Amino acid sequence: MEYMHAYASPLGGITLASDGEALTGLWFDGQKYFGSGLSAAREERDLPVFAETIRWLDIYFSGREPDFLPPLRARGTPFQEMVWEILRAIPYGRTRTYGEIAAQIAQQTGRPRMSAQAVGSAVGRNPISLLIPCHRVVGANGSLTGYAGGVEKKRRLLLLEGVAPETFFVPQRGTAL
């Protein structure tokens, strides 16, 4: 059984999902891949993990860095999970590029190189937005590409964290991974 809970953020509705013990999903309502991996058997319920996540979100949306994480259980392929672990290490208010993450994975796995596009695909399928901070990943030239919740939300999240706006931009067309 999976459980759901709604949260009203300053950037729009957010849906939380849990297996009863850990947070398994956090999506902006209507985002790409919304609810991916959820079973049909789910119900709305108040759970301790939701209360802890809401406390985290309230602190975050007040413009401060939370000093804790609720228990998380992100499920994906081994490659996706490797990428998501790297995302969790990106500090609040900082960004990394898809290429930097690809180079880190190549080094960790002993490969000569790794595709930034493959990293972008794994970043886009992150099931626990914000807490696994996929919004902190930008294109090689600072372009805000690849956010399943929408580029405008990504921009606002980075500004909320104090990332200097001159360090990123919204591309008018194409991609810049």
Q: Is 104 a catalytic residue?
A: no
> Per the residue annotation, which of 23, 87, 119, 134 is the catalytic one?
134
Half-sphere exposure of 32 (CA within 13 A, CB side): 13
**Which is it for strands 137-138 and 42-44: parallel, antiparallel or unpaired?**
unpaired
Check if the beta carbon of residue 103 is closer than 8 Å to that of residue 116. Answer: no
**Residues 81, 87, 103, 114: what is their CA dihedral angle, to the nearest 10 degrees?**
40
Bridge partners (DSSP) listed for residue 116: none
Distance CA 59, CA 69 (A): 11
Positions marked active-site: 134
